[in-house]
Structure 1
Amino acid sequence: MKVYKFGGASVKNADAFRNLANIVQTHGGTTRLLIVVSAMGKTTNALEQVFDLAYTHQNFDDALQQSCQYHYQIVQELFPATDHPVYEELEHLFSKLKYTLQNLNHQAAYDQLYDQTVSFGELLASVILHHYLQLQHLANTWIDSRKYIQTDTTWREAKIEWEWTERLIKRDLPAILNEQLIVTQGFLGGTNNGLTTTLGREGSDFSGAIFAYCLHADAMYIWKDVDGLLNADPKHFTDTVRYAEISYQETVEMAYYGASVIHPKTIKPLANRLIPLYVKSFLNPAGEGTRICDCKYQKLAPAYIIKQNQCLLSFNAKDFTFISEKNLGTIFNALSELRLKINLMQNSAISFSICTDCNDQRLQKLLQTLQDQFIIHYNTGLTLYTIKNYDTESINKTVAGKDILLEQRTRTTYQIVCK
């Protein structure tokens, strides 16, 4: 039993769909394989733009039409017969999406409406993939992951109801998988009253891990446009190193600090059942990739992680008292309520500094919440550099020529915040 997860780049055009089908035929087999697919290309970004236009009462027709054309152009290349059922299903989904956008209930929270809208990207991609695999004589069943991955209502970052989710998956899916493949969506969950939730940006990896955990899979595979888990993003570094094998713990820490290959929540359910995770290249499917498992090793190459669009905040008590546990509790509670995640923190006797992803709306709410109790200074538009398993050479390479606002070093991790 295996789970394959394909991201947006794996289905960005017609040739990508053909390549995906070839990987499934060559490596996946015809049964006991569940395929999780993300939205195609940059569809999620496009739907976010459409949603924001609709939410602010602006005309969204042109933006929505561009997304429609993108999907239909790919479908026309894959399905020459215009009477193929995929056309009718796509038309139905786009009509439903337009209706949703036209009838947004502004009494509901922004994040709740976001989930009901942006989720259409995965539905569209999975329907196209389901029909294309059928066309390639790969029998498969399309399932709606929202009916199986049950969550609470933490919109845009839903928490999994594990017991209920596992019961539903075990009830229905093994019997199907014994006969044929399953195609489903990443990123999506559902509540017990039928509303759509999402699991966080890039959450399709996590979806795959949920299915793998509940099905007691033998392995999970994430197919990327890189040769495996690398020690740095090849967009920023030319001399990257591929890890042939790496532990669950090391991968969790790298994901926590912002490594983009693996979603941070993916590893825990796999590690709990010792399910190995393989990171493979859809451009070179025969390559070795990276095996993430319960393993030990002497030394790893330093891992370089870059997080952009960061905000550095410093809190000082207004009465010049020490930063106490009570002060910290107040700050942490406010951060938790606004779902602002701390990427780095440091304190002195009279100040407490944190680095977090910059979200203007949440940042302003944080300032409003805490301005009566603290003097707050902040800088935006910063970059956080992290080196895991650092050495002197890697630090010198990273700090050269940079204007450093904050620096921190632990036994295994070195971090700087720069302008």
Structure 2
Amino acid sequence: MEKVQIYKFGGASVRDAAAIQNLASIVQRYGSEQPLLVVVSAMGKTTNALEELFQLAYVGQDYTAQLARLGAFHQNIATELEEANGVAPDDAVAPTLSEMLTELADGLATVGPGDYDRQYDQIVSFGELLATSIVARALGVRWLDCRPLIRTDHTWREGRLDWPTTERNIAATLPELLAKGPVLTQGFLGGTAGGATTTLGREGSDYTAAIFAYCLRAASVTIWKDVAGLLNADPKIFPDTVRYAEISYRETIEMAYYGASVIHPKTLKPLADRSIPLRIKSFLDPEAEGTLVHDCQHPALAPAFICKTDQCLLSFESKDFAFISEENLEVIFGALAQAKLKINVMQNSAISFSVCTDFSERRISKLLDLLREQFTLHYNTGLTLFTIKNYDAASITRLTAGRGLLLEQRTRSTFQFVCK
């Protein structure tokens, strides 16, 4: 069998009927040369809507209006596509939308006090299931449920992959299906050995594409975005962005780690391990060059500006004015892991240790419960973390001018600071 292409389309590329028709034209025009697996995210802001639905159900509040609105949104898109195509979709291609919406309603009815994160995954996963049902039927391609293939543990909302089982599952299933034509599946989702749904972390559909690519030894992965490629900054924040035409795996991994929004942080390692090139292209201008990420050497890059909002700065101080020792740090790191808080920046002094994390009220409260007996804790919320990769003096001055810095840190190639 020829080597497989993997195409990943995010929420913006399936946000409405016109966007899905554009996706179809890209698949028909560029995806016919080799066997093709298409990975699709939830439509538009559906994940946010499902999070709202889940939260209402979890606290016992009425959610019927929100559920009806979500159903109508998807149904309207499906109807518009059916009218545009001029033929009824084939029910054998994918589960029907009404089946999916009924399953979602049944799931919401079971939500209640208990394991918050486990229940979250069972509900929020419907974004990708609904989207792929509509897109597969619109394209007339085979729909594949990825959950029995991508095996994870029970780390809800951040499923850890069982790579050997996942690779066996995919290798045993996909080649035969792909030999018959394009296959469309979900990003972001996995499943446990017992059949429960897990998710791979917000924006995890890129990672899904990399998982399939690794297991199939794909020829390439293409991520279709609403930007021209991998840029040195978010064009919504910085008007004068620079596109990287070519960039190494290592450089891209570091940018993703620091929060570059174009690529999920876990995406690059599986691709680098098997030297699978990653292309980042614009679905708005598919003829444009985009960015090629692969194993390469390149001259010094333009500074990259990365912005993470809704940050929380936590400071831990020893209650008896003792130094922050390795034993103290072991306790703090253990509590951060239990609370599922990831450190974006950390810094210590003689009697205090500070970390900057993404803000989650539920997770911060758990951390405080774990540590308040041993440490005096202070924290600020509503902050912004800026990272400059490959900084120079001018880039630091540009970003820090007029800002009140609460924490700053620099290495040979990276400058970070937290501000209000």
Normalised by the length of structure 2, the TM-score is 0.96
Alignment correspondent of 1:412: 413
Alignment correspondent of 2:28: 25
1:180 aligns to 2:181 (yes or no): yes
3-state SS of paired residue (1:345): strand
What CA distance in whole angstroms lies between the structure 1 residues aligned with 2:352 and 2:126? 45
Alignment correspondent of 1:137: none
1:82 Cα shift?
8.7
Alignment correspondent of 1:264: 265
Alignment correspondent of 1:379: 380
1:77 alignment partner AA: E
Superimposed CA distance per residue, residues 218-264 of structure 1 (whole angstroms, 9 cap, x where no aligned partner): 10000000000000000100000000011111111111111100000
What CA distance in whole angstroms lies between the structure 2 residues aligned with 1:88 and 1:287? 35
3-state SS of paired residue (1:10): helix
1:9-158 matches, within 5 Å, as: 9-29=12-32, 32-80=35-83, 84-85=89-90, 89-104=96-111, 106-107=113-114, 109-134=115-140, 140-158=141-159
Superimposed CA distance per residue, residues 113-157 of structure 1 (whole angstroms, 9 cap, x where no aligned partner): 0100111110111111111111xxxxx321100011010010000
1:363-378 matches, within 5 Å, as: 363-378=364-379
3-state SS of paired residue (2:147): helix
Contact 2:406 2:417 in 1 (8 A): yes
Normalised by the length of structure 1, the TM-score is 0.97
Runs of 5+ in structure 1 lacking a partner?
135-139
Runs of 5+ in structure 2 lacking a partner?
none
Alignment correspondent of 2:232: 231
1:343 aligns to 2:344 (yes or no): yes
1:84 Cα shift?
4.1
3-state SS of paired residue (2:172): helix
1:63 Cα shift?
0.2
Count of matched residue pairs = 413
Contact 2:58 2:112 in 1 (8 A): no
Between 1:30-39 and 1:236-245, the stretch displaced more is 30-39
1:65 alignment partner AA: A
What CA distance in whole angstroms lies between the structure 2 residues aligned with 1:318 and 1:50? 42
1:324 aligns to 2:325 (yes or no): yes
3-state SS of paired residue (1:147): coil
1:30 Cα shift?
6.6
What CA distance in whole angstroms lies between the structure 2 residues aligned with 1:316 and 1:117? 39
1:243 alignment partner AA: Y
1:179 Cα shift?
2.1
Superimposed CA distance per residue, residues 26-52 of structure 1 (whole angstroms, 9 cap, x where no aligned partner): 111075100000001111101111111
Contact 2:224 2:282 in 1 (8 A): yes
Superimposed CA distance per residue, residues 274-306 of structure 1 (whole angstroms, 9 cap, x where no aligned partner): 000000000000111000111111200000000
Between 1:155-164 and 1:369-378, the stretch displaced more is 369-378
Superimposed CA distance per residue, residues 52-111 of structure 1 (whole angstroms, 9 cap, x where no aligned partner): 11111111100011111111111111102696456981111101100110122533x101
RMSD over aligned CA atoms reads 1.3
What CA distance in whole angstroms lies between the structure 1 residues aligned with 2:51 and 2:34? 35
3-state SS of paired residue (2:96): helix
1:169-248 matches, within 5 Å, as: 169-248=170-249
Contact 1:31 1:179 in 2 (8 A): no
What CA distance in whole angstroms lies between the structure 1 residues aligned with 2:40 and 2:88? 25
1:45 alignment partner AA: N
1:178 Cα shift?
1.9
What CA distance in whole angstroms lies between the structure 1 residues aligned with 2:356 and 2:212? 33
What CA distance in whole angstroms lies between the structure 2 residues aligned with 1:272 and 1:125? 30
Alignment correspondent of 1:161: 162
Contact 1:310 1:383 in 2 (8 A): yes
1:169 alignment partner AA: I
